[in-house]
């Protein structure tokens, strides 16, 4: 009997990407893979649940700034694993190189064989987990023989939003040769490709042994591999325990990694590489890449309308309303996307859904804060929501996770009033430390050293009223911090 480890697969989840086509819900500070989009679960959570069927602890490659969002997703599905934290985004070739180098080094240290790695984007929706696992298993023989295996989705319509893979002859291992990769086509070409037959959507999911991918990088993108090798020569490691599971933070050397050029694995390796196999997947799949794709995840009425949350659609056709926070009414509309969030609203024709990212770029150039950040901001210790702002005052709702603390800090230009509305707060103010219960409050004068800690087992929620001459988030001096942030920082 073969060693079971020889055939086991380590999932590598690629958590990069900004998802700007799903603005205003997805933003740089909270990309789409972390947003609760389906059944109050994020796409990353659903991906972790899907790859759990492969049996090995996953590796996630993510931005340093998103590490606690990834950690929360691991916690939500009770998973341990490894987080490879990039100091900056360098696209999928570098992300996959980091993961392959890490997995190979770990296998060698533990005396295990060359690991098989399944690279999955964190932001895809594949509801048929068993069908997905079965398809991956059909690619194992090709991957073990030294091929890079990609999984193509059997197309259901002539999409212009996806790239295509042309299937070549069948290989002895049951897969097919990937004979050609085709960029996102125009509508007429997409129709012609489907008529031609043998075409699959490029899902961006790959299976290969660590050594196969590393050798392919040697052949086609040696500079990317070299910078990643330098970055992974002596990475920083930190382990966070959560119940019976543990998650390891692995940080490549920042300066070495920043020298890496950014390129997708498709351009860097897949297109020039000769030994590429493709396995078709016939189940439901979506990269949830636009609001049209999100709309298709919900059932339609007789007029083709879709709604989420408190959307109310009357005498309309082919309209999608996303309204999780308040009633939004669409009356007599046609072919519209209406996306409501607390601080920004998008109204777009359904034919222009792919152009949302261009609008976001223009908003960013114009200095519109909502292009990048939400009113409600996730933090390692919890979250805050700026609910009102005026001259010399700001009001925030603040939530602190059980056992979590904000940094020991002070402000030069603002005073703060804290009112506890749920849970218990342990307040450090100068040399004194005291507890506040629900409906109790305290005052932090300008320049006073202070800290907020949640000693309880339920979330602490409070209202903070700031007053002063300057209320910017950069008016903060940290004396102690549990999350490795700098003393002077733009976030609380």
Is residue 178 situated within a structural domain?
Answer: yes
Q: What is the pLDDT of residue 245?
A: 81
Is residue 492 situated within a structural domain?
Answer: no
Are 310 and 386 part of one and the same domain? no
Instruction: State the Cα–Cα distance between residues 378 and 372, nearest whole angstrom.
Output: 13
Residue 6 has pLDDT above 60, yes or no: no
Are 195 and 319 part of one and the same domain? no
Residue 446 has pLDDT above 50, yes or no: yes
Are 465 and 326 part of one and the same domain? no
Instruction: State the Cα–Cα distance between residues 445 and 440, nearest whole angstrom.
Output: 17
Question: For residue 104, what are its two tokens?
Answer: 């190979």
Q: What is the pLDDT of residue 482?
A: 61
3-state SS class at 460: strand
**pLDDT > 90 in the chain, percent:** 71
Q: What is the average pLDDT across 177-181? A: 92
Are 325 and 451 part of one and the same domain? no
Distances (CA, A) of 373 to 240, 331, 385, 472: 27, 30, 11, 15
Are 259 and 321 part of one and the same domain? no
User: What residues make up the domain containing 459?
Assistant: 376-480
126: nearest Cα among 204, 199, 233: 204
Residue 375 has pLDDT above 70, yes or no: yes
Question: For residue 333, what are its two tokens?
Answer: 């509309």
Mean per-residue pLDDT of the chain: 91
Q: What is the pLDDT of residue 243?
A: 67
Is residue 276 situated within a structural domain?
Answer: yes
Identify the domain boundary among 281, 314, 334: 281
Are 361 and 380 part of one and the same domain? no
- The DSSP output letter for 193 is H
Return the number of other C-beta atoms located less than 10 Å from residue 420's C-beta.
20
**pLDDT > 70 in the chain, percent:** 95
Alpha carbon of residue 469 to chain centroid: 37
Q: What is the pLDDT of residue 93?
A: 96
Please report which confidence band the pLDDT of residue 206 belongs to, taking 50, 70 and 90 as the band edges: very high
Please report which confidence band the pLDDT of residue 378 belongs to, taking 50, 70 and 90 as the band edges: confident
222-231 and 91-110 are packed helices; what angle lies between their axes, rounded to 10 degrees? 50
Are 425 and 338 part of one and the same domain? no
- Pairing label, strands 393-400, 460-468: antiparallel
pLDDT digits over 21-36, tens only? 999 999 988 899 998 8
Q: What is the average pLDDT across 237-249? A: 82
Per-residue burial over 393-409, b = 16 or more CB atoms within 10 Å of its CB, e = otherwise: ebebebbbbeebbbbbb
Q: Let me know how long the chain is.
A: 492
Is residue 398 situated within a structural domain?
Answer: yes
Q: What is the average pLDDT across 189-210? A: 92
Are 267 and 404 part of one and the same domain? no
Q: Which CATH number is 424's domain given?
A: 2.60.120.10
Is residue 87 situated within a structural domain?
Answer: yes
Contacts of 307 (CB under 8 A, 6+ apart): 298, 313, 320, 321, 322, 323
CA angle 62/36/135 to nearest 5° reads 65
Q: What is the pLDDT of residue 481?
A: 62
CA angle 378/379/380 to nearest 5° reads 135
pLDDT digits over 137-174, tens only? 999 999 999 999 999 999 989 988 889 999 999 999 99
Please report which confidence band the pLDDT of residue 480 belongs to, taking 50, 70 and 90 as the band edges: low
Q: Which CATH number is 151's domain given?
A: 3.90.550.10
3-state SS class at 220: helix
Dihedral sign of CA atoms 432, 433, 435, 440 in order: positive
Q: What is the 3-state secondary structure (H, E, C) of 256-314?
A: HHHCCCCCCHHHHHHCCCCCEEEEEECCCCECCCCHHHHHCCCCCCCCCCEEEEEEEEE
Q: What is the pLDDT of residue 80?
A: 87
Are 110 and 163 part of one and the same domain? yes
Could you tell me if 449 and 409 are in contact, meaning their C-beta atoms sit under 8 angstroms apart? yes
Q: What is the pLDDT of residue 366?
A: 95
Is residue 290 situated within a structural domain?
Answer: no
Are 98 and 196 part of one and the same domain? yes
Q: What is the pLDDT of residue 1?
A: 30
Instruction: State the Cα–Cα distance between residues 37 and 266, nearest whole angstrom.
Output: 27
Q: What is the pLDDT of residue 415?
A: 93
Per-residue burial over 324-361, b = 16 or more CB atoms within 10 Å of its CB, e = otherwise: beeebebeebeebbbbbbbebebebebeebeebbebbe
Number of domains the chain contains = 3
Instruction: State the Cα–Cα distance between residues 453 and 437, nearest whole angstrom.
Output: 13
Instruction: State the Cα–Cα distance between residues 442 and 220, nearest whole angstrom.
Output: 61
Q: What is the pLDDT of residue 240?
A: 82
Distances (CA, A) of 353 to 21, 23, 289, 472: 7, 10, 9, 34
Identify the domain boundary among 319, 339, 365: 365
Question: For residue 410, what are its two tokens?
Answer: 């002070």
Please report which confidence band the pLDDT of residue 488 belongs to, taking 50, 70 and 90 as the band edges: very low
Report the range of poorest mean pLDDT among 314-323, 350-359, 370-379. 370-379
Q: What is the average pLDDT across 39-65? A: 91
Q: What is the average pLDDT across 423-437? A: 95
Residue 492 has pLDDT above 60, yes or no: no
Are 359 and 387 part of one and the same domain? no
Q: What is the average pLDDT across 362-384? A: 90
Is residue 46 situated within a structural domain?
Answer: yes
Phi, psi of 127 (to 5 degrees): -70, -25
Is residue 172 situated within a structural domain?
Answer: yes
Q: Given its phi and psi angles, is residue 17 left (phi above 0), alpha (psi -120 to 50 degrees) or beta?
A: left
Residue 484 has pLDDT above 70, yes or no: no
Q: What is the average pLDDT across 123-141? A: 93
Are 331 and 427 part of one and the same domain? no
Q: What is the average pLDDT across 317-328? A: 96
């Amino acid at each position: 009997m073969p060693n079971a480890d020889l055939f086991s697969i380590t999932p590598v989840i690629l958590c990069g990407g900004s998802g700007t086509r799903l603005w205003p819900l997805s933003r740089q500070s909270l990309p789409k893979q972390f947003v609760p989009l389906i059944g109050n679960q994020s796409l990353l959570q659903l991906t972790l649940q899907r790859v759990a069927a492969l049996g090995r602890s996953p590796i996630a490659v993510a931005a340093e700034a998103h590490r606690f969002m990834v950690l929360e997703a691991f916690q939500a599905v009770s998973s341990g694993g490894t987080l490879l934290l990039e100091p900056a985004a360098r696209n999928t070739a570098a992300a996959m190189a980091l993961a392959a180098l890490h997995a190979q080094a770990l296998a060698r240290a533990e005396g295990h064989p060359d690991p098989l790695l399944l690279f999955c984007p964190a932001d895809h929706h594949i509801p048929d987990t068993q069908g997905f696992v079965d398809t991956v298993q059909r690619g194992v023989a090709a991957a073990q023989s030294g091929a890079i295996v990609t999984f193509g989705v059997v197309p259901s319509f002539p999409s212009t939003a996806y790239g295509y893979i042309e299937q070549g002859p069948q290989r002895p291992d049951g897969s097919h040769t990937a004979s050609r990769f085709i960029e996102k086509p125009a509508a007429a070409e997409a129709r012609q490709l489907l008529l031609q037959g043998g075409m699959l959507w490029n899902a961006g999911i790959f299976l290969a042994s660590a050594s196969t991918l590393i050798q392919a990088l040697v052949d086609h993108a040696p500079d990317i591999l070299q910078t990643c090798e330098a970055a992974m020569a002596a990475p920083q490691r930190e382990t966070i325990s959560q119940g019976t599971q543990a998650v390891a933070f692995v940080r490549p050397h920042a300066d070495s990694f920043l020298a890496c050029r950014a390129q997708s694995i498709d351009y860097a390796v897949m297109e020039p590489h000769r030994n590429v196999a493709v396995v078709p997947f016939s189940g439901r799949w979506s990269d949830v890449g636009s609001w049209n794709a999100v709309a298709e995840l919900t059932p339609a009425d007789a007029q083709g309308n879709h709604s989420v949350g408190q959307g109310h659609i009357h005498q309309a056709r082919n309209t999608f309303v996303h309204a999780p926070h308040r009633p939004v009414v669409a009356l007599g509309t046609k072919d519209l996307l209406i996306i409501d969030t607390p601080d920004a609203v998008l109204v777009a024709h359904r034919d222009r859904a792919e152009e949302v990212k261009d609008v976001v770029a223009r908003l960013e150039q114009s200095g519109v804060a909502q292009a990048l950040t939400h009113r409600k901001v996730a933090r390692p210790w919890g979250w805050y929501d700026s609910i009102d702002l005026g001259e010399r005052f700001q009001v925030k709702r603040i939530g602190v996770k059980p056992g979590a603390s904000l940094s020991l800090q002070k402000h030069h230009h603002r005073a703060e009033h804290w009112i506890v509305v749920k849970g218990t707060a342990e307040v450090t103010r100068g040399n004194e430390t005291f507890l506040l219960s629900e409906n109790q409050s305290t005052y932090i004068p300008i320049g006073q050293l202070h800290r907020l800690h949640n000693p309880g087992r339920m979330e602490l929620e409070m209202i903070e009223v700031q007053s002063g001459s300057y209320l910017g988030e950069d008016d903060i001096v940290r004396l102690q911090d549990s999350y490795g942030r700098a003393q002077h920082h733009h976030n609380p």
